[in-house]
A = this chain, B = another copy of it.
Amino acid sequence: MDSKFMQNNLVELAKLIRFHILTSTTAARSGHPSSSLSATDLMTVLMFSGFFKADLDHPANPNNDRLIFSKGHAAPLFYSLYAVAGKVSAEEMLTLRQFGSRLEGHPTMYFPYTEAGTGSLGQGLSIGLGMALNAKLDKLPYKTYVLLGDSEMAEGSVWEAMQLAAHYKLDNLVGIIDVNRLGQRGETMYGHDVEGYAKRVSAFGWETIVIDGHEVNEIETAFSAAQKITGKPVMIIAKTLKGKGVSFIENKDGWHGKPLNKEECEKALLEIGEVDKKLVGKVASPPPTPSIAMEGGREPSPSQRGGQPARNGFAVAKSGGGGVSYKLGDLVATRKAYGNALVRLMESYKNLVVLDAEVSNSTYSEFVKKTHPERFFEMYIAEQNMVGAALGFSRRGKIPFVSTFAAFFARAFDQIRMSQYAMEINPDAPSAVGAGIKFVGSHAGVSIGEDGASQMALEDLAIFRAILGSVVMYPSDAVSCERIAELAADTPGNFYIRTTRKETLVLYSPEEKFVVGGSKVLRESKNDAVTVVGAGVTLHEALKAYEELQKEKINIRVIDLYSIKPLDTATLQKVAEETKAIITVEDHYAEGGLGEAVASAFVGNAYTRSLPRIEMLAVRKMPRSGKPAELLAYEEIDAAAIVKLVKKLL
């Protein structure tokens, strides 16, 4: 404890915080007072005893300690801490959960002290781990604190973070488990067995400190000890009572996510006793930092960090960006081109970090491991934690590229989902912009071959398309893959790149330009019968089909739809008028993929006429093991299937 903070009257501050928790949730008629009250004493001490060091006028100050409420439903407590620190007025507290308020049901980016949106349990420790790794990387003095609920300790993602934090010896990461015994519908698996928690956490390599979470002295001693422990992360395991401070809900079942009614609230406030609403809790300052742009309160966005000028809100890839040179007709796997691009990008973007889930020799992110080992993070086979940590890096100003087999991003889909709610928000036009994660999934589709269905990504386009504001790109050759990787580094927000296991022909010269929302017409004549739209391996099948059909004097138009989202609607609408039908062909299930994306170019405001005829070739049968060509044929997404369908349509 920092002696100069003795001046805060913790007991009075905790009372005021409880007052805000109760009155705001009663006013909102929903919310989680009981889950907030159990952690009130823990957070009051952390925040107002000099342990937590932050310049609250500049949330972006890189030396600020970080506080993540993994138990996001304790948002009333979270907001109350900042109310008591003078950053949220008593009036604003009463707007909790109202439409338009910064104080949403779970912490979101509308509130300037939210590090990342939480509310899906078990994710906060991974985000904190990313921030703690970032501090180690940049040699920054800040600590990251994560408040966990006991119920969420059942989530495996917590244990993924636990083992990796110990592996990386993150002594700048402090977790606090609020063991209030009660989950949503009754007791948790372990109840109040704090020693049981300690046993498991310490087996995972953490220092553990077990305390009574309502005893201010014990809490202070714990945080004080946590400052001194080195070489490992620290978990404070606090036995608490849900609803602490309000006798008729304290430690009682049936009070999860339930506000008090007005009468009950008045009764509760009487129990809390008189509060001094003018009280302002002082928060310790962080160590001084060299001059750093802190305007606006948030980190500079990637484009502010020196990216390319944006066009229509999106960046344009530098062409001929050097590095490995590919010759037209060479056979190069896009995953390898990704690795090559990454090595180059590490030079231009000093804030680029690379995370991989123990498959870097397949995704080729290992190239970076060799050239820039300090910014490569081995995350082992724990995709959820990898994505959560990437979010933490992203929120601290890094551009994280995360890679694994595309199929295994399914494992982290909830973390991916939540990452869309951690984007910076432009209050004038709320949408997902700002920092983001660059996801790179290799081994897409049945074309991986012999390994079989479990390793084939056949729903990755669907899941990444369904993320608000995401960009989804799918290069077909090495050159476009390098350009697309550059676009990813340079475009704000979440970005997905789908790479291919097998080698594909180089189609483009190094000068070729690619844009987010673009496409390439690769074959075109004035009498094209139909248009075939593909990407990745299926584009090459379309080109083979073109050759086949040429022999029979049938012309088709062939489009490389490298940008699946956003979509080049102008080009698609043009070909819809100029050719009889559009055939989409994709190495992905029919739902939510390239075909449905193409169809969406013809709906709503984008298009005021009737839709053209569209045919979708996609994976529709249970995939098997076999040679890539056999599987493309089996699923009817190869050149022969295209030729057959074109002829049928003539």
Contact = CB atoms under 8 A, between A and B. Distances in A.
A584 B365 CA distance: 42
Interface stretch (A138-146, A511-519, A590-598): A590-598
Interface stretch (A11-19, A41-49, A151-159, A228-236): A151-159
Interface string A628-650: 00110010000000000000000
Nearest to A459: B466
Interface in A522-569: 565
A381 B466 contact: no
23 contacts: A28-B450, A30-B451, A98-B626, A104-B624, A106-B455, A120-B411, A122-B381, A167-B189, A184-B359, A188-B380, A189-B380, A203-B203, A383-B414, A407-B417, A411-B413, A421-B453, A430-B624, A468-B620, A599-B611, A600-B616, A610-B610, A610-B611, A611-B611
A353 to B, nearest CB: 18
A46 to B, nearest CB: 23
B381 A154 contact: yes
- Which of A100, A421, A592, A622 neighbours the largest number of chain B CB atoms within 10 Å of its CB? A622
Interface in A585-609: 589-593, 595-597, 599-600, 602-604, 608-609
Given A121-B381, A164-B189, A413-B414, 9 more contacts: A99-B627, A99-B630, A155-B411, A185-B366, A202-B203, A407-B414, A410-B413, A465-B591, A599-B600
Contacts of A565: 591
A176 interface: no
Given A361-B185, A430-B621, A99 B626 contact: yes
A120 B610 contact: no
A408 B106 CA distance: 15
Number of this chain's copies in the assembly equals 2
Contacts of A602: 611, 614
Nearest to A417: B410
Contacts of A453: 104, 106, 108, 117, 119, 421
Contacts of A72: 454
A264 to B, nearest CB: 19
Interface of A: 28, 30-31, 72, 97-101, 104-106, 108, 110, 117-122, 151-152, 154-160, 163-164, 167, 183-185, 188-189, 199-200, 202-204, 358-362, 366, 380-385, 407-408, 410-411, 413-414, 416-418, 421, 423, 425, 430-432, 449-455, 458-459, 462-463, 465-468, 565, 589-593, 595-597, 599-600, 602-604, 608-616, 620-622, 624-627, 630-631, 634
Contacts of A626: 97-100
A99 B163 CA distance: 40
A468 B588 CA distance: 11
A589 B380 contact: no
B119 A455 contact: yes
Contacts of A188: 380
